[in-house]
Amino acid sequence: AKDMGNDLEKILLTEEQLQNKLDEMARDIDEVYGSEDILVIGVLRGAVMVVADLVRKIHAPVTMDWMAVSSYGSGTKSSGVVRILKDLDTDVMERDVLIIEDIIDSGLTLSWLKSNLESRGARSVRIATMLRKPEAAKVEIDVDFLGFDIPNEFVVGYGLDYAEDYRHLPFIGTLAPHVYGG
């Protein structure tokens, strides 16, 4: 629903906080890569906003590609087995890959994706994520560029959805429990 009504409980991160953090992350990314070519891989669909904003703040030469993945199994996101719904159009062999995500929850998606890209012969695979939920982690992941650690709450906006809604919001908020039946 575009008219949010009282669906949001509170704003967790304002547009300004997000953009300021992306400025810092872009500075760190530039420091690490210098003038090396970066192959940015965005994970559809949540990462669209972060990718779009972050690549415009990076000075290193960037090319972009996209993957869509989905967890296999019993409907929940805990199997750790991931299915590729849309694969890359780019050969990652010998490329310096920067995966960009909106959020690391259990970590299962990214841990699978990182080793998948390494096994395709990428020269380096690094990870940038806007959010991370330390309390929800099921696997350890080395994050190279982190926006914010957040509590284990249901967050939406800035790419993050609940049933495909709220992705378009320029800020990140927590969803009121009545929306998801909590």
- Catalytic machinery residues: 105
Contact at 8 Å (CB) between 83 and 70? Answer: yes
Report how far Cα 11 is from the mean position of its chain's Cα atoms: 19
CA distance 84 to 30: 30
Written as one letter, the residue type at 175 is: L
The contact mask relative to Mg ion for 129-168 (x = CB under 5 A, - = no) is --------------------------------x-------
CB of 34 to ligand PRP, least distance (A): 28
Contact characters 98-127, ligand PRP, x per CB under 6 A: ---xxxxxxxxx------------------
Contact 139, 124 (CB under 8 A): no
Task: State the binding partner of 147 from Mn ion, ligand PRP, Mg ion, none, CB within 5 to 8 A by kind.
Answer: none
Q: Is 58 or 69 the residue whose CB approaches Mg ion more closely?
A: 69
Specify the residue, 53 or 105, whose C-beta has the smaller distance to ligand PRP: 105
Report whether the peptide linkage leading into residue 45 is cis, meaning its omega lies within 30 degrees of zero. Answer: yes
Whole-angstrom distance, CA of residue 27 vs CA of residue 135: 28
Query: Considering only residues 7, 15, 96, 161, which one is a binding residue for ligand PRP as defined by CB under 6 A?
Result: 161
Q: How far is the CB of 78 from ligand PRP (least distance, A)?
A: 8
User: Helices (H), strands (E): how many in the chain?
Assistant: 4, 9
Q: How many residues does the chain have?
A: 182
Binding site for Mn ion (CB under 5 A): 46
129 binds ligand PRP (CB under 6 A): no
Contact residues for ligand PRP, defined by CB under 6 A: 43-46, 77, 101-109, 161
